[in-house]
Chains A and B, each alone.
Chain A
Amino acid sequence: MPVSLTDVLEYRLANGLTVLSLYEPSSPVVTVMIWYRVGSAYEARGETGTAHFIEHMMFRGTSRFGEGEIDRRTSRCGGTSNAYTGYEFTAYFFVFSADRWSVALEMEADRMQGCLFEPEALEREREVILEEIAMEQDDPWEVLHWEIDRRVFGEGGYGHPVVGLAEDVARLERSRLQDFYRRYYRPDRAIIVLVGGHQPALALEKVEALFGGIRPSGREGVREGAGTVRLSPGPVYWETKRPGHIDRLLLAYPAPGLDDQDFPSFLVLDRLLSQGRLSLLHRRLLEDRELISTFSTDFEETKCSSLYYLHMELLKGIAPEQVAQEVQRVFEGVCEGRFSAEELKRARNQTVTSLLADLETGVDRAFQLGLYGTLVRWERLREVIERVSRLTMEDLQRAAWRFLGSGSKAVGLQRART
């Protein structure tokens, strides 16, 4: 357990704004993040891309900070900034030297309610976002993900890409963006995370002074985004051809949400299957059978059940059915407990290293606290880290049965068209 996580302090302002503070006296910088409990899973049909569009517009100016001023001010103060949108969160971060970090709070307090959505700037940003979507469409794996997600989750929830569908983004109206913004950008749906060399008491005073007067604006129209995995009856299958040289196979299985009791087991299970040359899938697919050239897995950290993805680039002449069958056999083996105590210990060690690496820098720690704080509760992060080292073979077997042994899966195949 990293010592620093035991020092996290949590405050709540009267208007519902949560503040998480991790004071690290020797740090010369402060990471300031603000997380809003809203993302693409909160969007309705025909309005995909709204949350992400707002994230872009948040840099386009408020009545106090004109267009481009947030970036200029950040640079002038020697800081960096960026933002991310996910299924269930929109997060903004600044990193500044510890002697001037509070400038970030001023900008965040202002744009929590003051984003202008100036029409001309909005049209230019729409073009920028359409270019971003085009860039993602050029990524062969993104395209496979989009198609599988749409089929598994249906419309709404996790079923569309975070950046939105081009046809929706092309016609999103300003009034719709403003409505969405007013509904979700409010103190009671936000968490401020401070990590680094700030003085906690002074920081809290500053937060109170800048954000304390912002009122929550009612709950009308708020919907809590959620995904529903629809993987049965029968597997989901999608096949396409794409100009290129490599056949790509994407397999997707159910995966637990962050708060699921089996989430820690699933983290270790993933390592047992995929981390390193000795992992079960690597050994079977690359070493023993020589079926594929590259292989990786991932899954989104979400509130609700999501998907566990296996990405594989197939060697020439290899049938995707054969690869899928081999994966199935490996999964069946894990469900039946065919792995050793040594393999379990290795996977647990790998998971610990990875969880610690996710907390290495101040930005990393702020990100993890904000992510867990927004999706479930930040203490869950500590629980997960503590739980991983104690997991047994039975724990992994149970998780394997639940998520990989149910027969539910989706298959996406992209054949090369040269």
Chain B
Amino acid sequence: MKNFSFHRSQFDNGVVFLHHRTSAVPLVSVNLFLLVGKDQNPPDRPGLANFVARMLDEGTERWTHEEFSRRLEDMGAEMHTFCEREITGVCLTLQSRFLESGVECLAEMAQRAIFPAERIRRQRNLILEHLEATADDGELLGSQALNSRIYRGTSLAFPTLGTPESIQSVTSEELVHFHATRYGPKGCYVIVVGDVEASAAESVVAERFAGWSNPDQVRMRTGPFERQTSPERVELFLEREQVHVFLGHLGMDRTHPDFYAAQVMDAVLGGGNGFVSRIPQRLRDEMGVVYVAFADLSDSAGIYPGRFVAYAGTHPRRARLAHRILVEEVRRFREEGPAEAELEIAKSYLTGSFPLEFQSNLSVARLLLGMEVFGLGDDFPARYGELIGEVGCRDVRRVARAFLDPLNYTSVFVGKKAE
């Protein structure tokens, strides 16, 4: 992506504004990202960051929740609020002519949410119901079980939604305090991508965000993270057709110098297009025992170390076999590394498909956020091809030896008992 350009500015209070122009449709994606994820939860309060995120549009100093809805919905806006491991985000899709009102809504949520008691009661009930619903989702349960082992002893070990005990007992004072101390201009990114001019967007964002201050803002760091030194196994019973089989352990963070070698490794071992990579090729194309199988190290790399995860969903009578193949392929890759031909296909895929990340407004916004948070440099889109091109077999082998452990990992089986 040699021709990709964007505008960046930072206000005196620390808020970063990023903009990229697209004009295929008269829409704009207006995004507020804050470095406030579940990593900011106190150890005894899983789910707090997510609870706060869900309360942002439930009433502010100026607007009731109804007035808030009226403003958003009258514009025909689509809003998506989320809380992830490291980030809370509010993403609006709007017709371009409503940019100003959209930014005003984001500013209200970030700076003036007030947490009315009645709305807390409703959200608490809904979160508790959603927690019950997730107990029916085998793949999610498996992923959470893996997190509970990989991130043991840290805030990342718990589900983003929290636990029933924590959600039941969280107080309004805790919600208010979390918002008052974690939300602020530091680690705040307002990213506008779509059919609007940079200067117009910048002045609108500056008007609403440049004056934001919060002297009480703090950012906690969770951890430490330690690689497991022995294998562990978790089996969860669920009466379903398929068993979800996971194998995983601690991974790498995004700023690790071998990140690009890890991307190439993923494309050879368990990702890429179609079923070219080893794990889907073996389990799906050659053996016909799964519909979905993958392995991945780089996708979850972030501020904190991500996870290496290999996955297969299969019939209970094949669950042990699928697990054995996952272990075998991980071991083989660690010992042998990639063949030259595999490496070349993986690199061609990664560089060739990179422009696709610039297709939707929201995906461009996420890419700009990553460039900013991880300091990838303004020329990252232009340099990406080079970064991947430089990766050689030796680099991928080094990553495999450092980050794949076919002995000390956690295995998770969710479903009927493996036959």
Hey, which bits of chain A sit against chain B, CB under 8 A?
Answer: 2, 4, 24, 28-29, 59, 67-68, 70-72, 74-81, 95-97, 123-129, 131-132, 134-135, 137-138, 140, 243-246, 275-279, 290, 293-294, 313, 315-316, 342, 345-346, 348-354, 356-357, 359-363, 365
Contact = CB atoms under 8 A, between A and B. Distances in A.
B274 A59 contact: yes
Nearest to A28: B355
Nearest to A352: B76
Contacts of B314: 131
Interface in B289-328: 289-292, 313-315
Q: Contact size class for B?
A: 35 or more
A361 B359 contact: yes
Given A350-B76, A360-B24, 12 more contacts: A72-B345, A95-B353, A127-B289, A134-B241, A294-B133, A315-B129, A342-B74, A346-B74, A353-B27, A357-B25, A360-B361, A363-B359
A353 B284 contact: no
B292 A245 contact: no
A307 to B, nearest CB: 24
B344 to A, nearest CB: 8
A128 to B, nearest CB: 5
A41 to B, nearest CB: 23
A78 B26 contact: no
B348 A127 contact: no
B274 A135 contact: no
B346 interface: yes
Contact of A123 (B76, B267, B288): B288
Given A68-B276, A349-B75, A356-B27, A135 B349 contact: no
Given A77-B348, A357-B78, A246 B273 contact: no
Q: Which of A28, A315, A365 has the most CB of B within 10 A?
A: A28
B94 interface: yes
B127 to A, nearest CB: 9
Given A135-B241, A244-B136, A353-B27, A79 B353 contact: yes
B355 A353 contact: no
Contact of A354 (B78, B267, B344): B78
B348 A351 contact: no
B87 interface: no
Contacts of A345: 74
Contact of B93 (A128, A243, A357): A357
A60 B148 CA distance: 39
Interface string B231-244: 00000001111100
Q: Closest 10 CB pairs between A and B?
A: A78-B352, A349-B76, A71-B274, A124-B288, A127-B288, A293-B129, A134-B241, A361-B359, A75-B349, A132-B291
B216 interface: no
A138 B136 CA distance: 9
A67 to B, nearest CB: 8
Contacts of A349: 74-76, 95
A356 B273 contact: no
B98 to A, nearest CB: 9
B298 to A, nearest CB: 17
Contacts of B241: 134-135, 137-138
A6 B49 CA distance: 46
A75 B274 contact: yes
21 contacts: A28-B3, A59-B275, A70-B274, A74-B274, A96-B352, A124-B286, A124-B288, A131-B315, A137-B241, A140-B136, A275-B73, A276-B69, A290-B122, A294-B129, A349-B75, A356-B25, A356-B26, A356-B27, A356-B95, A357-B93, A363-B359
A277 B26 contact: no
Contacts of A313: 129, 133
B351 interface: yes
Nearest to A417: B239
Contacts of A72: 276, 345
Contacts of B346: 75
Contacts of A28: 1, 3, 355
Nearest to B93: A357
B402 to A, nearest CB: 25
Nearest to B362: A360
A109 B331 CA distance: 40
A122 to B, nearest CB: 10
B255 interface: no
A276 B105 CA distance: 15
A352 B95 contact: yes
A131 B288 CA distance: 9
B125 interface: yes
A68 B24 CA distance: 35
A245 B136 CA distance: 7
B285 interface: yes
A360 B74 contact: no
B285 A124 contact: yes
A334 to B, nearest CB: 17
Nearest to B280: A71
B242 A138 contact: yes
Contacts of B9: none
A75 B348 contact: yes
A78 B348 contact: yes
A323 to B, nearest CB: 14
Contacts of A126: 288
B68 to A, nearest CB: 9
Nearest to A353: B76
B225 to A, nearest CB: 32
Nearest to A59: B274
B276 A75 contact: yes
A75 B345 contact: yes
Contacts of A71: 273-276
Q: Which of B94, B276, B281, B352 has the most CB of A within 10 A?
A: B352
